Structure formats: structure tokens, C-alpha cells
């Protein structure tokens, strides 16, 4: 579940991407790539009913939905409150940066 907000045009919206991500059972981490989420959000906000050309960097991913709950939301008209009741919020978020393989000076 993603909360997107652009304060310059007073726009805020909840999005559920129905995106599959990798899961590490040892670490109990759901792993998603920011570039993929950015691309999906750009497509969503540029299409009807939004038709906005905005920068989707003003968002945060705060939880996930079970597939059955996502399907229920798609079929029924839900309020934000009832949708948020179905969300499993994340305990924490982590940012990882990949360092390409190679030789690096000690201490870097």
C-alpha cells in the first residue's frame, strides 16, 4: 500500500499496486525495487482519472495487503478507513544500495 502526496497541487491518494516482490524468509523482508515502483506510479498518475504529470518521489510504501483483501477492495466500494483496516503495516523500511563488484581501497 502506497500513500502518494503532492502538496503543491493539494493531491493525496492511496494506491495498491498489486505488485509481487521478493521475500527473504530468513530476514523477514519484502524486497521491492524503487525504480519499478516509480515507473508504476508515473503510469498511474498520468492516466485517467488523474491525468497528472507529477513527480512520484513524494510517496511512501507503508504496508501490504493479502491477495484476497486486494481482490475484495477491487470488487467493492470501500472507504479509506476500511481499506486501511486490511493493511499489514511494515515495522520498518530499509534502503539498500548495490555496490558493483570490484576491487576497492581498504576502508571504503
Query: Could you give the CA distance from residue 24 to residue 70 in angstroms, rounded to a whole number?
Result: 22
Query: Could you give the CA distance from residue 72 to residue 40 in angstroms, rounded to a whole number?
Result: 22
Q: How confident is the model at residue 55 (pLDDT cuts 50, 70, 90)?
A: low
Please count the helices (runs of H) and the strands (runs of E) in the chain.
3, 7
pLDDT value at residue 79 = 81
Tell me whether residue 107 is in a domain.
no
Query: Could you give the CA distance from residue 105 to residue 12 in angstroms, rounded to a whole number?
Result: 45
Task: Report, as an integer, the average pLDDT of 33-46.
Answer: 84
Does the pTM surpass 0.75? The reply is no
Tell me whether residue 96 is in a domain.
no
Tell me whether residue 22 is in a domain.
yes
pLDDT value at residue 96 = 83
Check whether 105 has a pLDDT greater than 70: yes
Tell me whether residue 95 is in a domain.
no
Tell me whether residue 64 is in a domain.
yes
In which domain, by residue range, is 29 found? 2-89
Grid coordinates standing for 44?
498511474
Tell me whether residue 106 is in a domain.
no
Within 1-108, strands assigned E span 2-6, 11-15, 22-24, 29-31, 59-61, 63-64, 88-89
Count of domains observed in the chain: 1
Tell me whether residue 103 is in a domain.
no
pLDDT value at residue 16 = 85
Q: How confident is the model at residue 87 (pLDDT cuts 50, 70, 90)?
A: very high
Tell me whether residue 37 is in a domain.
yes
pLDDT value at residue 83 = 87
Amino acid at each position: 500500500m502506497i500513500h502518494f502526496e503532492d502538496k503543491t497541487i493539494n493531491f493525496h491518494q492511496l494506491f495498491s499496486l498489486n505488485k509481487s516482490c521478493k521475500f527473504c524468509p530468513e530476514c523477514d523482508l519484502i524486497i521491492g525495487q524503487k525504480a519499478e515502483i516509480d515507473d508504476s506510479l508515473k503510469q498511474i498518475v498520468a492516466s485517467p482519472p488523474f491525468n497528472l504529470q507529477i513527480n512520484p518521489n513524494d510517496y511512501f510504501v507503508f504496508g501490504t495487503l493479502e491477495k484476497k483483501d486486494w481482490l475484495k477492495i477491487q470488487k467493492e466500494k470501500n472507504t479509506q478507513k476500511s481499506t486501511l483496516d486490511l493493511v499489514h503495516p511494515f515495522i520498518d523500511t530499509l534502503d539498500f544500495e548495490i555496490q558493483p563488484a570490484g576491487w576497492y581501497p581498504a576502508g571504503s
